[in-house]
Structures are given as structure tokens and as C-alpha cells.
A and B are shown apart, each in its own frame.
Chain A
Amino acid sequence: MKRYHRILTGIGLLALLIGCSAQKTDSSPTSKEAPANPKIKIVLNWYPEAEHGGFYAALVHGIYKSHGLDVEIVPGGKGVSVPPELELGRAQFGIGNADDVLMARSADSSMVALMAPLQNGPRCIMVREDSQITNFQTLKNVKLQIDSGRPYVPFLKSKSLLDPSVQIVPYYGTVAELVAGPGVAQQAYSFSEPLLAEQQGVKVRSLMLSEIGYNPYACCLVATEEYVQKNPEVVQKMVKASVEGWQRYLESPQETNAYILKQNEKMTAEALAYGVEKLKPLCLPDGLAADRMGQMTLSRWQTLRDQLVSLELIDGAKVVAERCFNDRFLQRALEVETTAKP
């Protein structure tokens, strides 16, 4: 029994040690006071691509600098999750789609969207043109490479658009199998993967999710509520500079694309040039003027929130549409009055 006493005493001491060392460190993520000239980090939700072009344009053309901001853009990737990066204070801003914001808030994150460069979601299901699939109703007898955790999968199921003959398999971020042979479809961004497939000699068709009612804002600039409350001036400058960056990127993307190429060697100049052309109608759809870049409306957030609640992906009691976005800074930046939010 003596031995067990020794072991238990050892465990107790270890716990005490951990406790003491934890108390010594005074860098709680909740106590993130902003210094006078803060270095601002934006963490991306994916590897640098055309979808992040506007933020890179603001960096490349010195727009952030001209607003007094020292900005670093941190590339994302498969293993990078934006909400914890913001919650832990490792980055001040992030990029995320509207459905990501809703799911993060459902998990008690205070993430809010500040501007939405892509008004229409670029998410699509890409199929070969030589297949019989021309729309979602004919999506049958195919192996569908898709991230089954993404909300649009249950959305498609809820609309009875995923036939039992569709075999859902994981997506590994390549068009190789779709190109290799028929019988394969995959998730894609309309401004990226279709070109990759066509470059490898396969013509494809994009079935847009936005056209069947699933249309989250994409590539939103996000931050936590706490950060926004504590640093309203920084947020105001950040939103204004980002809007200008996006306007600049859609007008003349060459210099920015060259910079993105250096950040992401897997990209090609052709893919980025194609991407920016495809992004234009997503950023400024239906003749939306460039000076309304990034706008958000409550009704769009409400629709998406209701969709995700009905799909049981988020907790309706926790997620209130009005609190998912904050366009106060954007309105000031655009100097336009909007009735979107009361």
C-alpha cells in the first residue's frame, strides 16, 4: 500500500506543478490588450488563391499601409481552422464563409462578418460534360467526391437531390480522378477547379449551389466581437482598406496575382487570371456597383441561419442572424445608407 501512497503523492505533486506553471503564465487569450501600433494578422481559410485577391491587393498596393495598418496575411490550408485562431488571439482577422460564421457561433465563438466580397457563393458540383448529368435532378449513378461535413451536403439531401445511387466519398483536393475517367463528380469552386480540369483536356459543367437556394456570402472578413469592441478604429480602417483592395483587384489584378503566385507555388498565372474573371460576377452580381462592394443584408443572413437550423447543423437558440454580421464599419466605409440592418 505504501507504494500506492507514493504514486498518488507523485500524481498530486504533478497536478500542483501544472497548476503553478499555469498560474505563472499571464498570457490568457481573453486578456488580449491591443498595443499602440499593432501588427495585424489575417488568417486565410485556404491556400492563397484568387478568392483572397482583394485582401492581397490591399497589401501589395500599400492600401493597408496608407490606412496606418501593418498587415500580414497568413495562408490557411487543410488543417487550419480560422475561429480558434481568432479566439486564441493568434490572428486578429480571418477569412470565412457565412456558413462557417454561423457554425462557429453555434459553437459559442463570437465571430462576426464585417464585409462579404463574394455576394454569391462560388461552391458548385463539377461534372464531366460528357456525362448525362446536366442539373441536380440528373445527378445520379456517380461517385461524388465531397467533404460530407459541409452544410450543403445535408442541404442537398434535404432537397432530395442526392439520389441513393450517388456514392459519397471524401474529397482530397484534386481533379485527378474526375479527369481520369467518367462516373466521377466532385465539389469545386466555380473560379478554380473547372479550369484545372479543362487544362487536362476534360470539359466540365458546374452545377451552382447558389442557383438552388444555398447561397452563403463567401470570403467574408471576420473577427471576434471582443476584438471589434476593443479596437473599433482598427476595424474601421481594416474594412475600408479591404473594400478598396477588392475594388482594385477586380480592376487590375496583375500585380496582386504575381504576388499570390509567390505565396502559393501550386497556383498558376493562368488559373489566377481565370479566377479573377470568374470572381467578377460573384462579387458584383446583377449590376451591383463597385462602390457597394462587400455589402450584407439581414435577410440573406436570416435565410442562411434558418436553413442551417432546419438542417440541425446549428443551435437556433444560440445563433441570431442580426449578431452574425456587423456592417456598421462597412456602411461608414462605403458612405452609403442601407436599410439592411435596423
Chain B
Amino acid sequence: MRDLRRADNGSSLFANRWIVSALPPILVFLLMVCLWQWTVEFWKLKPIVLPSPAAVWKAATEKESVLIKGMLATGAAAGLGLVSSVVIGSILAILFSQFRWLRLSIYPYVIFLQTVPIVAIAPLLIIWSGNNLRTIVIIATIISVFPIIANVTAGLLAIDRNWIDLFRMHGASRWQSLAKLRIPAAIPHLLVGMRISSGLAVIGAIIGEFFVGNATSYDGLGSLMTQWQSQQRTAHLFAALVASTLLGIAFFLIVHLLGRTVFRRWTMAVDLESYDP
């Protein structure tokens, strides 16, 4: 009986916690939609200037299948870009943590990745790599790799001196320290980097599609946005923007879920949602 009550209490606690964490963003969303609708009506704005939320909803339902296919096409490119960023960024960060001379000589140039005007180099990338998915993934990678490098490098280096001394006392080799101390300690940092990069990868894929066009048999969100902007379909353009936002949120949640499942062992100490000073 007591167990049942405890289980019941547990589920109601979970429900309460969910309501507490979900309610504020839902309320803000509803407020923003109301404000948007009010702005359109108050200023008597025409859809070509700013479509109402209702018009955007109508456009989204009209083009539902096109938008879903667009999200899949852009999602695939962004996903590949994010995975490339994680792999390339982590390898570079490990190298930086192990070789001080490498870090000192190359890290400043890595900052270049953050400042590179992708719009200016995209046509060049197309000449080098062609109008294909690879080029979109390269663009998404260039845009999303820096937070991974910066965070993972910081994570690998910010180790408590006492832990390093302990490993030394036990005669751990450099690679043992890396594998058993530094990399596990850097995983929460990797996840923070991935949270930032997940959104950037989506932006990178969309920018890539602006330049490359369709890399798959479907129009990606970037291609759809270009087309609808050209056709002055502002409500449709907004629907594509909402779809890209949803895609970014989906990526963020996937990274969040990874932190809660696959990497749970290393991330238990870092819980952004429950942290409340």
C-alpha cells in the first residue's frame, strides 16, 4: 500500500515538475502569438509586410508535406554537419589538450572558423566541391564546429590539480590520464558545445541550401525559403521559418536526450534545468 502511494506520489511529482518546467515557455509562446496577432491587426499590416499567425498556420497546413520533406532534407544535412563537427572538433580538441605547441600555434586560426564570412566563401566551396549534399554539410560543419572545439578543449584542460596528482601518484600514463580522466571530465563540456552547435548546424544547412540548391530529391527549407521569398509568399516563408525553428528545437532536444541517456554517467553533475541558485 505504502509502495503504491509512493509510486502515486512519484508520478504526480513528475507531472508537477513537467508542468512547472513546461508552463513558462508555453505561456511566453502564447503571449508572443497574441502580441504578433495584435501587431498585425493594430497596424493593419498586409500579409506581404507581416502575415498574421493565422495566415502562417494556414500556409503551413497547405504545404504540410512539402515542409515535412524540407525538414527531412535540411535535417539530414544539418545532422551530418553536426556529427562532422563533433568528430572533427573533438579530435582537434584532444590534440590541443595533448600538445601545447599545437594549441598555441593553431588555436588562433581556429577562431577564424568563427569569423569566416560563409556567404563570401560559399560560391568558392561550390566550385571546389560541387552543387551537392557534401558542400551543404561542409558549410554546416564550418559554422557549427567552433563551439565544440572551444568547449571540449576547455573541458580537457580544466581538470582539478588534485586529480592529476592522484593519477600521477598511481603511475598513470599520459594516455591513461586522457582516457580515464580528461575525456570523461570533458563530456559535459562537449554536450554544452553540442547544444550550441545543434542550432548552428541547422542555420549552416539552410545557408548551404541558399547557395547549393537542392542536394536531395526534395527541396530543403533553405530552397523553399528562397522560392517563397521570390514569389512574395510571406506567410509561406514564415511557415518555413517556423519549420526551421522546430528543426533546431528537435536537434537541441536530441542532444539533451543524449545527455540524459548515453552520457548520463558523466553528466549527472551538470543539470541545466534543475539548477536554481
Contacts and interface: CB of A to CB of B under 8 A. Distances in A.
Interface string B17-60: 00010011001100100010011001111111100000000000
Nearest to B230: A149
Contact of B24 (A7, A88, A149): A7
A148 B227 contact: yes
A147 B230 contact: yes
Interface of B: 20, 23-24, 27-28, 31, 35, 38-39, 42-49, 123, 127, 131, 210-214, 223, 226-235
A30 interface: yes
A28 B214 contact: no
Interface in A165-194: 167-170, 172, 177
Given A4-B23, A83-B48, A87-B48, 9 more contacts: A15-B35, A22-B42, A84-B48, A87-B49, A106-B232, A108-B47, A147-B226, A150-B230, A169-B213
Interface in A130-174: 143, 147-151, 167-170, 172
A230 B224 CA distance: 37
Contacts of B214: 168
Nearest to A23: B42
Nearest to A103: B232
A34 interface: no
B232 A100 contact: yes
Interface of A: 4, 7-8, 11, 15, 18-19, 22, 28-30, 81, 83-84, 87-88, 100, 103-104, 106-109, 143, 147-151, 167-170, 172, 177, 313
Contacts, number: 84
Contacts of B20: 4
A149 B38 CA distance: 31
Given A22-B42, A168-B213, A169-B131, A104 B230 contact: no
Question: Which 10 residue pairs are nearest across A and B when measured between Cβ atoms?
Answer: A149-B230, A149-B227, A107-B48, A169-B213, A169-B131, A103-B232, A109-B48, A170-B213, A108-B47, A30-B44
Contact of A84 (B49, B226, B231): B49
B48 A108 contact: yes
A166 B216 CA distance: 14
